[in-house]
């Protein structure tokens, strides 16, 4: 058979299995989303519709990959945590990463209309990478890093865009104004200039989104799946949160 | 800043740059497409609309990645060849693979309606992997392997589905009938039973699809890009084909 | 400078840093030691002089690599455990593995005469590999695996060679006699035929050798180093042993 | 069996096979050789005895690894080139690198006395790494890089040490004198101050050492091996040299 003669090229495929018994985290990131947001008039500093769409896609990922026990999303990024003992796709790095990034991207287009009424004008694109975290400490610190990042960015953007939208500064002037300011300075600007208490801002903006596999209640159980993924906007910085996640290992 | 404290987790991100001066080939494959095809009533043995959609997505990939000099597609798979010296994304394996698989998947949903009138019922999914081929010989043999695979599968499927659709065999009986047959036997069945000369079957089915970056003619050049990707259904088995592709290295 | 022109080849050197915060274990194994033992008339089933030489080399490794907190040796193999946070050579896999295997091999020849009076007739050779263990459980189980292996092999070899040397069986007949026997059967053979209580065999044969970095007593401290490696023949199966090793993380 | 229970730890051993059909080059380098040379009073700028010892070890490597078709050595380093199709140890990176570095190190101690009459005072140590070169061009350029390096270093060292040993400069003053000088300046210093024509210096110093597998002549053939490695001090910069090495692929 003609095929056999060329099949030797398969030996160039390298094994890429991940070290067992470590946490695999796949992070996907929007590519060129500054332009993409502009093209679709996403609201500044946050567009809740776009975040809801991201969360919808994440839920689908958790549905299809029951070994994912938690995911965290903010802005145009999402991180998916597999339980430590997961054997999904024999832990092959490319297979896992590409399947997740593919499903997420396809979902983003598929569900666009359910969340956003402007028609989709250009194709969204994400990249993804898988990183291994060998123990609870570093895995938790990874997700703390992302939630701290969400908080810092959101405080900054909220202040910046209030200066622009309500304060009538240009974007350049507002940026200049915030140079070197600390968190408390931004809180102060928000409060004194715009009567905004940052702590009353919506939690989805301040804390990002956490997707979790939740045990089915009786009613849901009739639809068969044992776990159903749900979105929360909660604090994941404290050890207390993680200690309750006992399905993780 | 709260962020800094956790930022140390970045050191767990491993470098995954591909060996320079080798051909990078990204192959993407539909996941669960047997079910997906059934759900959307794709025609057997080939659904030209589905192949046209695949080709449309591939063209977009070539548009966005000018370092891809050739791609080959058949059924629900596509392989993308980067020129040997490509420095795209510093040759980072995950970044390259995930970006391509993401864009392809999003395009598939985005362009669905242009090719297929049944509404999209479920989200398509692809996986991807990047393989390195160190020289022309093995790189060409890789693509020969895929085109040979296309030919073998198509001859088999064409015969099988003619036995079913025109010969009124059950799928099981038709499968049984083809067990152990050689190419010439299948050609003979097609000809004697269904008056089909296999060599007259459409080239897109027999040879798959080859996407190439073509130098702009005058007219096209006004739209700016120097190269425009186009689809061909041609033989890529012979060295002659490859020797003419001088942009490849 | 002529050099600069070729220096680009350095970009082919791939990064091989090991995942941080995991246990690195380097295991080295004698290559072709069956022949090597024969050539130097090593005693069967164990040659204490050869084990002492192996231990001498291991001590030198621990001297030169203070990040190695424990090593375990049996027969012609030795495994070296780095503390989890070790940053030795920036955790570069090849650098670490090759340096250890080189030093061990050179020491083996260098110290040969101190342990063995036959002159060295051929050059000994070892290979080495580095394996990552992400947590205490699997790291300890690795060393338990090696000590269990030592026990099983030694019980087998002790029985086999007593059958040959004192029981006057051929090697083939002795091998045949032991086929399918359990531990208790071998213990019984040793006791009933040769009045040997296996538990009284030297611990170096039954338990292998454990090299540990020991805190200097006053006297040793004058020779400067804070830690001095020493060899023990002790049980490392129980968690109790590992819990006392608090320098390990 | 106690062993079985722990054997699962083997799954942490990662595959490290090198990409097929590429040139594998193992380079070993002396570690801490500045100190080692001083401890054994090696002559400056070159100690022929030490180079002969290096070459003797390299020959043994070529003897034991017939897939190595060429090696290049200078100072305390040696690079070994495997033929492109080599399947030695299934191309496992660690196995190949560690075996070579081990044998070389053991040989260095074993053969010390045949070349150097001072007794060996400390154990020599080498590290090693394997780099892949995907085609003839880059592989040849790698070796050209090493030979250019040899030339540049030797011209520098020859001039430096003549200034010190015959010119009675301190090492610091001689170093200062050479700062910013070009090749032709150093040639001029050697000639005008010390009547040395650099081109008449021994080729082993100027060109390094090349080990090659040579086809046995009748006489040698009686000792059985088909190929016998030999050392040359020749130019490997020109393509002509490489084109004659037809056993390489």
Convert the pLDDT of each residue in C68-119 to its tens digit: 999 999 999 999 999 999 999 999 999 999 999 999 999 999 999 999 999 9
Q: Flag if D99 and C125 touch (Cβ within 8 Å).
A: yes
- Our CA-based measurement puts residue D179 at a distance from the nearest CA of chain B, in whole angstroms, of 35
- Taking the C-alpha atoms of residue D104 and residue B30, their distance in angstroms, rounded to an integer, is 50
- b/e per residue C103-118 (b: at least 16 CB within 10 A): bbbbbbbbbbeebbee
Backbone φ and ψ of B213, nearest 5°: -80, 115
When the pLDDT of each residue in chain C is averaged and rounded to a whole number, the result is: 94
Residue C1 has pLDDT above 50, yes or no: no
Q: What pLDDT is recorded for position C4? A: 77
Residue A3 has pLDDT above 70, yes or no: no
Q: Does B219 touch chain A (CB under 8 A)?
A: no
Contacts of C22 in chain A (CB under 8 A): 19, 22, 134
Convert the pLDDT of each residue in B103-144 to its tens digit: 999 999 999 999 999 999 999 999 999 999 999 999 999 999
pLDDT confidence band for A182 (50 / 70 / 90): very high
Of D158, D141, D137, whose CA–CA distance to D206 is shortest? D158
Q: What is the CATH classification number for the domain harbouring B211?
A: 3.30.70.3000
Which chain B residue lies closest to A99 (C-alpha atoms)? B127
Does residue D159 lie within any of the structural domains? no
Q: Which of B9, B105, B108 sits opposite A138 (nearest CB)?
A: B9
Q: Does B138 touch chain D (CB under 8 A)?
A: yes
Q: What pLDDT is recorded for position A245? A: 83
- Our CA-based measurement puts residue C125 at a distance from the nearest CA of chain D, in whole angstroms, of 5
pLDDT confidence band for A20 (50 / 70 / 90): very high
Does residue C184 lie within any of the structural domains? no
Report, as an integer, the average pLDDT of A176-205: 96
Does residue A109 lie within any of the structural domains? yes
Given phi > 0 = left and psi -120 to 50 = alpha, else beta, which region is A21? left
Residue of B21, B22, B91 to mutate for C, most C C-beta atoms under 10 A: B21
Does residue C113 lie within any of the structural domains? yes
Highest mean pLDDT: which range of A212-226, B198-212, D218-232: B198-212
Contacts of D132 in chain B (CB under 8 A): 19
Which residue's entry shows tokens 């083939």? C172
Q: Does C148 touch chain D (CB under 8 A)?
A: yes
Q: Does C17 touch chain B (CB under 8 A)?
A: yes
Contacts of A20 in chain D (CB under 8 A): 11-12
pLDDT confidence band for B4 (50 / 70 / 90): confident
Q: Flag if C127 and D95 touch (Cβ within 8 Å).
A: yes
Q: Does B3 touch chain A (CB under 8 A)?
A: yes
Contacts of B20 in chain C (CB under 8 A): 11-12
Contacts of D13 in chain C (CB under 8 A): 129, 131
Which chain A residue lies closest to D11 (C-alpha atoms)? A20
pLDDT confidence band for C2 (50 / 70 / 90): low
Residue range of the domain that includes A114: 16-147+203-244
Which chain B residue lies closest to D21 (C-alpha atoms)? B134
- Taking the C-alpha atoms of residue A237 and residue B197, their distance in angstroms, rounded to an integer, is 68
Which residue's entry shows tokens 């430096």? D160
Residue A61 has pLDDT above 80, yes or no: yes
Which chain C residue lies closest to D16 (C-alpha atoms)? C129
For chain D of 249 residues, list the mean pLDDT of each consecutive stretch of 10: 81 96 98 96 96 98 96 98 97 98 98 97 98 97 97 97 96 96 96 96 97 76 74 96 79
The packing angle between helices B48-64 and B93-115, to 10°, is 140
Does residue D126 lie within any of the structural domains? yes
Contacts of A94 in chain B (CB under 8 A): 93-94, 97, 127-130
- Taking the C-alpha atoms of residue D93 and residue D86, their distance in angstroms, rounded to an integer, is 12
D33, two tokens: 């050789």
- Our CA-based measurement puts residue B168 at a distance from the nearest CA of chain A, in whole angstroms, of 29
Of A125, A79, A123, A120, whose CA–CA distance to A102 is shortest? A125
Q: What pLDDT is recorded for position B249? A: 64
| Percentage, residues of chain C above pLDDT 90 | 90
Q: Which of B93, B101, B138 sits opposite A12 (nearest CB)?
A: B138
Residue C218 has pLDDT above 70, yes or no: no
Q: Does B12 touch chain C (CB under 8 A)?
A: yes
C44, two tokens: 């069967």
Q: What pLDDT is recorded for position B219? A: 58
* Cα dist from D66 to A167, D25, D231, whole Å: 78, 14, 15
D155, two tokens: 């011209």
- Taking the C-alpha atoms of residue A41 and residue A32, their distance in angstroms, rounded to an integer, is 15
Contacts of D109 in chain C (CB under 8 A): 106, 109-110
Report, as an integer, the average pLDDT of C153-169: 96
D179, D213 Cβ separation under 8 angstroms = no
Contacts of A148 in chain B (CB under 8 A): 2-3, 5-6
pLDDT confidence band for B1 (50 / 70 / 90): very low
Q: Which of C20, C21, C135 sits opposite A21 (nearest CB)?
A: C135
Q: Does C11 touch chain B (CB under 8 A)?
A: yes
- Our CA-based measurement puts residue B19 at a distance from the nearest CA of chain D, in whole angstroms, of 8
Q: What pLDDT is recorded for position C223? A: 60
Does residue C169 lie within any of the structural domains? no
Does residue A185 lie within any of the structural domains? no
Convert the pLDDT of each residue in C131-152 to its tens digit: 999 999 999 999 999 999 999 9
| ipTM of predicted assembly, 2 dp | 0.94
Q: Flag if D134 and B134 touch (Cβ within 8 Å).
A: yes
Backbone φ and ψ of D76, nearest 5°: -105, 25
Contacts of B136 in chain D (CB under 8 A): none
Contacts of B15 in chain C (CB under 8 A): 14-15, 17
Q: Flag if B17 and C17 touch (Cβ within 8 Å).
A: no
Report, as an integer, the average pLDDT of A126-135: 98
Q: Flag if C15 and B17 touch (Cβ within 8 Å).
A: yes
CB-defined contacts A:D, below 8 A: 17
Please tell me the total count of domains within chain B: 1
Does residue B178 lie within any of the structural domains? yes
Continuous segment of H or E residues that includes residue B130: strand B126-133
Q: Does C95 touch chain D (CB under 8 A)?
A: yes
Q: Which of D95, D123, D134 sits opposite C110 (nearest CB)?
A: D123
- Exposure on the CB side of residue D219, measured as CA atoms within 13 A: 0
Contacts of D22 in chain B (CB under 8 A): 19, 22, 134
Q: Does A11 touch chain D (CB under 8 A)?
A: yes
pTM above 0.80, yes or no: yes
Q: Does D22 touch chain C (CB under 8 A)?
A: no
Q: Which of B124, B130, B141 sits opposite A106 (nearest CB)?
A: B124
Of C118, C104, C115, C158, whose CA–CA distance to C36 is shortest? C118
Please name every residue paired with D228 in a beta bridge, in sequence order, or none if there are none.
D214
Q: Does A155 touch chain B (CB under 8 A)?
A: no
């Amino acid at each position: 058979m003609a095929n056999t003669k060329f099949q030797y090229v398969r030996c160039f495929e390298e094994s890429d299995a991940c070290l067992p018994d470590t946490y695999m985290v796949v992070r996907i990131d929007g590519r060129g989303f500054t332009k993409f947001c502009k093209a679709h008039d996403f609201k500044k500093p946050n567009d809740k519709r776009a975040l809801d769409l991201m969360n919808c896609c994440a839920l689908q990922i958790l549905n299809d990959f029951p070994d994912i026990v938690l995911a965290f999303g903010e802005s145009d990024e999402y991180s998916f945590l597999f339980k430590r003992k997961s054997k999904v796709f024999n832990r092959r790095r490319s297979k896992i990463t590409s399947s997740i990034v593919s499903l997420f991207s396809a979902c983003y287009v598929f569900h666009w209309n359910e969340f956003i009424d402007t028609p989709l004008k250009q194709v969204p694109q994400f990249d993804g990478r898988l990183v291994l975290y060998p123990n609870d400490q570093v895995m938790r610190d990874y997700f703390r890093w992302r939630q701290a990042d969400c908080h810092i960015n959101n405080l900054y953007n909220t202040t910046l865009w209030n200066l622009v939208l309500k304060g009538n500064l240009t974007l350049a002037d507002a940026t200049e104004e915030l140079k070197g300011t600390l968190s408390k300075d931004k809180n102060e600007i928000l409060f004194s200039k715009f009567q905004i208490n940052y702590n009353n801002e919506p939690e989805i903006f301040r804390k990002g989104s956490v997707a979790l596999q939740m045990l089915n209640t009786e009613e849901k159980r009739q639809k068969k799946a044992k776990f159903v993924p749900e979105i929360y906007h909660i604090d994941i910085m404290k050890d207390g949160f993680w200690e309750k996640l006992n399905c993780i290992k």
